Amino acid sequence: SQQGEEDPQALSIQEGENATMNCSYKTSINNLQWYRQNSGRGLVHLILIRSNEREKHSGRLRVTLDTSKKSSSLLITASRAADTASYFCATSNSGGSNYKLTFGKGTLLTVNP
Amino acid sequence: GAGVSQSPSNKVTEKGKDVELRCDPISGHTALYWYRQSLGQGLEFLIYFQGNSAPDKSGLPSDRFSAERTGGSVSTLTIQRTQQEDSAVYLCASSLGGRAGRAEQYFGPGTRLTVT
């Protein structure tokens, strides 16, 4: 079953603008990860945030996590055309099966040059 | 170093035939995962291998699906008597395994399976 739900499903912006994608989930988590996928093939790991963390940065990426609201956001600053891709959040549940990732359906980001 | 590799990259097969999909994980990664991505279902967990432990097969959709991992490295996903609903991209991933904190998964490029 799909636990993570990304919002919006699709986002189109101009180069240089910031892009914000949101993810909501339902159960207690161990960590939440964001992945990027180009052209429907392999996923690339972007960033992992643990349940006891609230914010994390990596280059132009900023991820926040609010466990009380069971939600996360991914901010990409100063977007580039090369950022065009689908972005997925994935949760690792707390408990014995914490290796399993449950993916959302993704946000398709289009950055127009 | 080399990433996760998968073969073939594309496979077209007739309904009822068996197919084998191969995954070579990153060297040193003890954990290996198979996922399926289809238009209707998004990304679904299929199976997980960790070292010499019994695999977690809880995501396999039917007994037509099986997977093995030989020598703790290469893995093969086999689909018997393929059906049209098996058409999807099959993704393999590996990770360092062990503690949950080492959870980043590294994905291969996937195998696009089309059942006609």
pLDDT in tens, B47-98: 999 888 889 999 999 999 999 998 879 999 999 999 999 999 999 999 987 6
| Cβ contact, residue pair B45, A43, below 8 Å | no
pLDDT for the residue B101: 45
- Does the CB of B106 have a partner CB in chain A at under 8 Å? yes
Burial B67-79 (b: 16+ CB within 10 A, else e): bebeeebebebeb
Mean pLDDT, residues A2-30: 87
Residue contact A33–B48, C-beta within 8 A: no
- Tokens 């919006």 appear where? A8
Q: 3-state secondary structure string, B4-63?
A: CEEECCEEEECCCCCEEEEEECCCCCCEEEEEEEECCCEEEEEEEEECCCCCECCCCCCC
Over the stretch A89-102, which tens digit does the pLDDT of each residue have?
A: 999 887 766 778 88
For residue B100, give the nearest of A35, A92, A105 by CB distance: A92
Of B31, B43, B101, the CB nearest to A88: B43
What number of CA atoms fall less than 13 Å from residue A15's CA on the CB side? 5
pLDDT of residue B99 exceeding 80: no
> So what's the pLDDT on residue A62?
98
B31 chain-A contacts, CB cut-off 8 A: 99
